[in-house]
Amino acid sequence: WQLKVKSSFGSQEPPHVPALPLIGSLLSLRSQHPPHVLLKELQKKYGQTYSLMMGSHRVVIINQHVHAREILLKKGKIFAGRPRTVTTDILTRDGKDIAFGDYSPAWRFHRKIVHGALCMFGEGSATIERMICAEAQSLCSTVSEAAALGLALDLAPELTRAVTNVVCSLCFNSSYARGDPEFEGMLRYSQGIVDTVAKDSLVDIFPWLQIFPNADLRLLKHCVSVRDKLLQKKYDEHKADYSDNVQRDLLDALLRAKRSAENNNTADVDAATAGLSDDHLLMTVGDIFGAGVETTTTVLKWAVTYLIHHPDVQRRIQDELDSKIGADRSPRLRDRGSLPYLEATIREVLRIRPVAPLFIPHVALSDTSIGDFKVKKGTRVIINLWSLHHDEKEWSHPEHFDPGRFLDSEGTGLTVPSSSYLPFGTGIRVCLGEALAKMELFLFLSWILQRFTLSVPPGHPLPSLEGKFGVVLQPVKYKVKATPRPGWERAKSQMC
Ligand code: HEM
């Protein structure tokens, strides 16, 4: 019996990367590789699951799907905590959002109403499809204008604009024209936040460093205050003309859920204890911008980058689009089922270049175990999605871009060939925007590839596939030559 109890809490600690007092394992983590690659490499020395010290925090690193699934699914509630850090506290008013909020009844209720609101405007909704198609149309017009002038285009800012506008329409029922000062301001502060949060922030490992002047923290605080002013303005406007009978957007849906909880119109136990404040709703919208724009845009950028490297894949998608949709109308969400090769390509992009290769760290909320290893309450856990998606035992030639691995043996049906595939996570903390992101990826890519063939301008090198690591794993900057496809002359590219 004693043995049984022992093993249910794990019998041994995971192997440790050496650590020194105060600085932890910092010296062993110096490398020219980005963190996800280094943490994958360290498996060779310490095994698939090992631990290290970040300052005074013990962090367990997971490089295999069996342990990842145990953490996210089987022990989802035990590992549902999030660490608090200096930068995320600034970003989220001390964790009043979903992504960095710690697990609690308030968080559970908060996540539930946001999920409900996103479903209403998300999956299967004609409203969101219209919003995305409007942005796809505007994006294709910009690309078409550049093509008509014979110009190569940096697609990255155009994709950011398009995805940001979808999120603006979803949250505030307002989309912006190019050059609109409010919109340009929003793009600027978002970039500032991405740049500063992306820095390997030492203050997050050693919070006492805050007492020293820190230019990054100053910039982050400035960008967050500009963001908050805009969010507050939108929030006040929505509150002023709120009506129970009309739901224009996500902010209306959130306001309704909050009011209904306050009026005790809900039997929800968590709601009774939650007490969601205005800050919670504002930070939710901050989260959707923060988690929803950079990620989706980056996947689109990687998709374009891989398609440029693989004209054969691009051609096969275009053949599929031509035969299933033709040139008389634009793709719709209902076409997804008949375009398996495009869907397989999106899955392969999400596998080969996971934008969140280290997820968001989880925290053990009680003493527990992972496999045979015991894990103490408060331990942080980093799931290295890069290792899962590049595990040689699970994927043949993992660095080889091959959408076909997500097709069945007939090449017509979609499959997921390995359990080592978790681009959006799974379980209690699964990505809240998975459905929205998949709709955007499908519509933007199908619209672009129906109209244009993408390449690099003559004489330009192919863009690097290495990527640079920040908040997300980004491709490098480069220019794209978009050649209109036969039948997609300029006027027609406007067609919806
Ligand atoms: C292709 C685009 C996207 C990818 C690959 C992606 C991936 C992920 C991943 C891996 C996580 C971490 C899961 C974990 O910690 O266990 C996550 C969390 C999250 N994502 Fe996404 N995401 C994408 C787009 C979006 C969008 C569009 C939204 C907003 C509508 C969004 C909102 C969130 C939120 C709020 C969380 C935190 C969930 C929680 O902590 O409970 N994401 N996402």
Joined together, the tokens standing for residue 263 give: 């009026």
Is 465 touching ligand 1 by the criterion CB < 6 Å? Answer: no
114 lines ligand 1 (CB under 6 A): no
Ligand 1 atom with the smallest distance to the CA of 438 is: 1
More confident residue, 275 or 322: 322
Q: What is the mean pLDDT of the segment spanning 403-431?
A: 96
Q: 232 C-alpha vs ligand 1 centroid, how far in Å?
A: 24
CA of 368 to the centre of ligand 1 (A): 25
Query: In this structure, are residues 195 and 467 in contact, taking their beta carbons and an 8 Å threshold?
Result: no
Q: How far is the CA of 228 from the centre of ligand 1 (A)?
A: 21
Contact status, residue 207 vs residue 90, Cβ threshold 8 Å = no
pLDDT tens per residue across span 184-200 = 888 888 888 877 775 55
DSSP 130-196: HHHHHHHHHHHHHHHHHHHTT--B-HHHHHHHHHHHHHHHHHHS----TT-HHHHHHHHHHHHHHHH
pLDDT of the residue at 476:
87
Give the CA distances from residue 168 to residues 49, 121, 177, 333, in Å, rounded to whole numbers and listed in that order: 41, 13, 12, 20
**Closest by alpha carbon to 238, among 326, 411, 117?**
117
Residue 275 has pLDDT above 50, yes or no: yes
- pLDDT value at residue 72: 98
- Nearest-CA residue for ligand 1 atom 7 is 424
What's residue 247's pLDDT? 83
Tens of pLDDT, residues 87-128: 888 889 998 999 999 999 889 988 988 888 888 766 557 888
Q: What is the mean pLDDT of residues 8-24?
A: 82
Is residue 128 within 6 Å of ligand 1 at its C-beta? no
pLDDT number for residue 458: 94
CA distances in angstroms from 200 to 13, 16, 130, 206, 380, listed in the order given: 27, 22, 39, 12, 17
Give, for ligand 1, the residue of 164, 288, 431 to mutate: max count of ligand atoms closer than 8 Å to Cβ.
431
Per-residue pLDDT, averaged over 447-459, amounts to 97
Residue 289 CB partners (closer than 8 Å, separation 6+): 164, 167, 171, 190, 227
Q: Would you say the CB of residue 429 lies under 6 angstroms from ligand 1?
A: yes
Ligand 1 neighbourhood includes 99 CB (under 6 angstroms): yes
Verify whether ligand 1 is closer than 6 Å to residue 437 (CB atom): yes
pLDDT in the model for residue 8? 53
Over pLDDT 70: what percentage of the chain? 89
Average pLDDT, the chain: 88
Using the structure block, give the residue that is written with the tokens 């205005």. Answer: 278
Tokens 């294709």 — which residue? 140
| pTM for this predicted structure | 0.92
pLDDT at position 407 over 80: yes
Q: CB neighbours of 60 closer than 8 A, spacing ≥ 6?
A: 14, 49, 50, 51, 370, 373, 375, 379, 380, 381, 382
Specify the length of the chain in residues. Answer: 496
Tell me the mean pLDDT in the region 119-146.
86
pLDDT at 258 > cutoff 90: no
- Whether the CB of 95 sits within 6 Å of ligand 1: no
Give the pairing of strands 49-54 and 468-469.
unpaired
> Which spans in 373-418 are helix H?
385-389
**Residue 266: is its pLDDT beyond 80?**
no
Judged against a pLDDT cut of 60, whether residue 492 lies above it is answered with: no
Is 436 close to ligand 1, i.e. is its CB under 6 Å away? yes
Report the complex ipTM: 0.99
Structure tokens that stand for 466 in this block = 């290495």
Q: 434-451 vs 105-121: helix axis angle to the nearest 10?
A: 30
In order of their start, the domains of the chain are 2-494 (1.10.630.10)
The strand pair at 57-62 and 380-383 is best described as parallel
pLDDT tens profile 32-91: 888 899 999 999 999 999 999 988 889 999 999 999 999 999 999 999 999 988 888 888
Cβ neighbours of residue 169 under 8 Å, at least 6 residues apart? Answer: 131, 134, 135, 175, 249
Per-residue pLDDT band at 490 (split at 50, 70, 90) = low
Residue 431 annotated as lining a ligand binding site? yes
Gap from CA of 289 to ligand 1 centroid (Å): 11
DSSP, res 399: T
